[in-house]
Amino acid sequence: MPEIIIYHNGECSKSKGALELLQERGIPHTIRWYLADPLTPAELMALLGKLRMQPSQLMRKHEALYLAKYQDNEIPEPEWFTILIENPILLERPIVACGDKAVVARPAERVFEILTLPAGQ
């Protein structure tokens, strides 16, 4: 199986839930603490490709920073990309990547959409 990476925020209950699911099932994984170690532009571009999403779709629209600065603004996708690079707190979480696929694991069980294991295993 390809490497599984969880883009994790330890303060987020949803992110903790996805990490616990991987741990409980003994699924080997790497934790990427993306707030302490922000994604490079190349990493974000690759992750967006795996998710098949645009930058604006990966925004945490309930985050205080988003509400204060970006809500209701007409912003082109390339600018959303830059905003995510400069403000990793706005990245939706948790994201779990495996090979050429990734998913926003909300709910946590969505990780099984990209793994070869059945949900009950």
Asked whether residue 102 is assigned to any structural domain, the reply reads yes
- Find the helix or strand (DSSP H, E) in which 51 lies: helix 41-51
Q: Is the dihedral of CA 70, 59, 44, 39 positive or negative?
A: positive
Q: What is the DSSP string of 54-102?
A: -GGGGB-TTSHHHHHHTTT----HHHHHHHHHH-GGGB-S-EEEETTEE
Rounded CA separation 88/99 (Å): 22
Asked whether residue 82 is assigned to any structural domain, the reply reads yes
- Catalytic residue positions? 12
Asked whether residue 118 is assigned to any structural domain, the reply reads no
For residue 119, what pLDDT is reported?
47
User: pTM of the prediction?
Assistant: 0.89
Q: What would the pLDDT profile of 27-58 be if each residue is shown by its tens digit?
A: 999 999 999 999 999 999 999 999 999 999 99
Domain of 109 in residue numbering reads as 4-113
Token pair of 47 as six digits: 């992750």
The rounded average pLDDT for each run of 10 residues, N- to C-terminus, in the chain (121 residues) is: 90 94 94 97 97 96 96 94 97 95 94 70 46
C-beta atoms surrounding 72 within 10 Å:
5
Asked whether residue 38 is assigned to any structural domain, the reply reads yes
Q: Is the peptide bond preceding residue 41 cis, with omega within 30 degrees of 0?
A: no
For residue 64, what pLDDT is reported?
96
The answer to whether the CB of 63 falls within 8 A of the CB of 74 is: no
Q: What is the 3-state secondary structure (H, E, C) of 13-50?
A: HHHHHHHHHHHHCCCCCEEECCCCCCCCHHHHHHHHHH
For residue 118, what pLDDT is reported?
44
Domain holding 67: CATH number? 3.40.30.10
